[in-house]
Amino acid sequence: MPLRYAIILIVCIASCCNVYARQSDNPYSYNTIAGFANHLVEQREYYRAYQEYQRLYYYYPSLYPYDAFFIASLYCQYQGKQYQSVLEKVKKHSPITLQAFIYGFDSEFSSMSFPSCVMDLQWPQDAGPVFETMILKRKLAYSLLTVDNYNELSSYMALAKEFDLQRIYQYSRFIQKKLKNPYAALGWGIIPGAGYIYSDTTENGMVAAIVIGVCAVVTYFATDSGNSGIAFITGAAGTFFYGGSILGGYLAAKRTNNQIMKELHAYLDEELKFAHDREIIFNRYGKPKTQ
């Protein structure tokens, strides 16, 4: 090969390497933004990751289409516990895909709602076994919150190979039996502090009983000794605390129930591996691939 051609070839190779190096160093290249966004997800900085995915979509819509950005945005906002934002996005998106429905259901579920619409959901024939299982698990979760008979869960036996359905059902029943009746707490409140004790807030019940008891005793002796002023003050205070104790027991029962149901939702979410489903959807349909 003539020397001049060899020199030209070397110069071309060097130029190409230089251009590639510059592209690699470009902070606005597709790979740079996508890699940084994925790194932020790994660091659990979901809000910043969402912004980077949005920038990636604006800069490279042909490489990172809206559907992928939409799934990534749902993932980031769900992980950031912005459940209401997820629900608003899902409702505005038409048509609602199975992937989006999963995030919408889980957002309602994590918000302590009962998304009964899942029971009417029919997946398309080409959904595949993975999505069929995802939907079936969420129908099971809803049923466990409403069904009292294990035999009524027969339609979910297809999940028995992967999950111990009887154990999950028994634990769900056990948790729900701990729920308190707020009106029963209201009735128990007639006895000072008893409403609190019924609602599993024994410390508040003991304090309420002592305060009301002390006010009653002081009022009695003040009245007996003719100290009407003290009797009026302690009597009014006792009446105030007594009424507060009755209402407080009712509110305490509601708080206890909320905590119990929160525990049950968290248990079902973890036991049925909802997080695993969300990761699958994000990795397949929302996470940008880097070169």
Please name the residues in contact with 103: beta carbons below 8 A apart, sequence gap of 6 or more: 74, 75, 78, 86, 90, 278, 281
d(CA 174, CA 187): 24
What is Dmax (Cα atoms) for the chain?
Answer: 125
- Helix crossing, 128-144 with 274-281: angle to 10°? 150
The better pLDDT of the pair 107, 9 is held by 107
Q: What is the tens place of the pLDDT at every residue in 176-228?
A: 888 898 898 888 888 888 888 888 888 888 888 888 888 888 888 888 787 87
**pLDDT interval class at 17 (50, 70, 90):** very low
Q: What is the tens place of the pLDDT at every residue in 91-122?
A: 888 777 888 889 988 998 888 876 666 666 66
The better pLDDT of the pair 74, 209 is held by 74
d(CA 192, CA 203): 13
252 and 115 Cβ atoms separated by less than 8 Å: no
d(CA 190, CA 205): 12
Provide the pLDDT for residue 23.
Answer: 44
In this prediction the pTM is 0.76
What are 117's two structure tokens? Answer: 């619409």
Provide the pLDDT for residue 25.
Answer: 58
d(CA 182, CA 249): 8
Provide the pLDDT for residue 91.
Answer: 86
pLDDT of 287 > 90? The answer is yes
Q: Phi and psi at residue 30, in whole multiples of 5°?
A: -60, -50
Q: What is the tens place of the pLDDT at every residue in 135-171?
A: 889 888 888 888 878 888 888 888 888 889 899 999 9
Provide the pLDDT for residue 10.
Answer: 53
pLDDT of 64 > 50? The answer is yes
Residue of 23, 28, 78 whose CA lies nearest to 55: 28
78 and 86 Cβ atoms separated by less than 8 Å: yes
Q: What is the tens place of the pLDDT at every residue in 224-241?
A: 787 878 878 888 887 887
pLDDT of 11 > 70? The answer is no
**Arithmetic mean of pLDDT over the chain:** 84
Provide the pLDDT for residue 123.
Answer: 61
Provide the pLDDT for residue 192.
Answer: 87
Which string of DSSP letters, residue by residue, matches 139-189?
A: HHHHHHTT---GGGGGGGGGGTTTS-HHHHHHHHHHHHTT---HHHHHHHT
Provide the pLDDT for residue 63.
Answer: 92
